[in-house]
Amino acid sequence: MMEPLNQKRTNTVVFPGFCDVHVHFREPGFSYKETMITGARAAARGGYTDVCAMPNLNPVPDSPAHLAEEERLIAGAAGICRIHPYGSLTVEEKGEAPADLAGLAGRVVAFSDDGRGVQSESMMRSLMETAKRLGKIVTAHCEDNSLVRGGYIHDGAYARAHGHRGICSESEWRPIARDVRLAKETGCAYHVCHISCRESVDIIRRARAEGVDVTCETAPHYLLLNENDLREEGRFRMNPPIRGQADQEALLEGLLDGTIDMIATDHAPHSAEEKSRGLAGSAFGIVGLETAFPVLYTGLVRTGKVPLPLLISKMTEAPRRRFGLAQGAEDTCEWDLEACYEIDPADFLSMGKATPFAGWTVYGKCLRTVCGGKETWRA
């Protein structure tokens, strides 16, 4: 497990720069939600030196020409945080025709239709075969549209008590079961985004035991919250949803036993208006880059549930190893682990302010981030 690089004082520690393989920086197409620059600044403030940007953009990076528009915007954020783009799996992420995977392969970190699940088994098989030939990872948002049925929070006790439409866990774990079978048959490297339920942990654990080349991530909100924490506010609406207590406990077990390889934020900013419509009407997505380490350190490490070196490994070494991203010797973040404060979204550098952790009292303040030898954040 990754150890702190050094401990300068009793409460100040320098870690390797963090790496998040799942962020949404919204450009091109949706700069009213976030930009490459504001997203990169938020990442630097959170201790991140590398992030991987998802392709649900306009235009979708499904061809070299469309990717070039995103690359131009990424270049404008150079020197703040390294941003690695995903290419989409299918044209316009519609799941109907394959994207130009061969044309994109040398310029993207992996392929994904994040935000949309690939519904067709034959399409996913073909995509995996192509990705295998190109030596790239297929990264999947696993969601069976036929099982969602208009839901927007977990199909559990809270939904029933408050008259909300629920999203069943099967809508997540059934596509994962399909895809790990396809990954085994094709030999494709396969990565599952933001797992949220206990069945997903079990399926991935079994697949790994069978030698399938599968990894997965979860996010801070699934490890630290369950449906008992829900409020009638848009900042608690994300996809997949926060699920039951048994799911939360299974995710923690999966993190500890190595089934869950890494922690990603799924940083997904929206405008204040889009998040102001309550649980039923708000857009899916919350922000997380500026709060990830403090909430995880406070909720998991200080409570004795997770060793600090393991948490750091899940945020640095493991994602880089899987996605082939180098850890530079001059990529570091310095934290005051005894700094105690209340999370206030008004202070965020991200344009998105929606977080279920607003008002939480946390420990851990990022004092300084260095990316490639250049200071990118100082408190």
Burial group, residue 372, by CB count within 10 angstroms (0-12, 13-18, 19+):
middle
The alpha carbons of the chain give a radius of gyration, in whole angstroms, of 19
Tokens 């299974």 belong to residue = 250
Q: Is 61 helix (H, G, I), strand (E, B) or coil?
A: coil
Q: How far is CA 347 from the centre of its chain?
A: 22
d(CA 273, CA 34): 14
d(CA 194, CA 217): 5
Whether the upstream peptide bond of residue 269 has omega within 30° of 0, thus cis, is no
d(CA 185, CA 3): 37
What residues are labeled active site?
A: 266
Residue 104 vs residues 64, 71, 122, 165, 196: alpha-carbon distances, Å: 6, 12, 21, 39, 30
Tokens 């997949």 belong to residue = 240
97-107: b or e for each residue (b if 16 or more CB lie within 10 Å)? ebbbbeebbee
Stated as kind and residue range, the H or E segment containing 223 is helix 220-224
Provide the pairing of β-strand 48-53 with 18-23: parallel
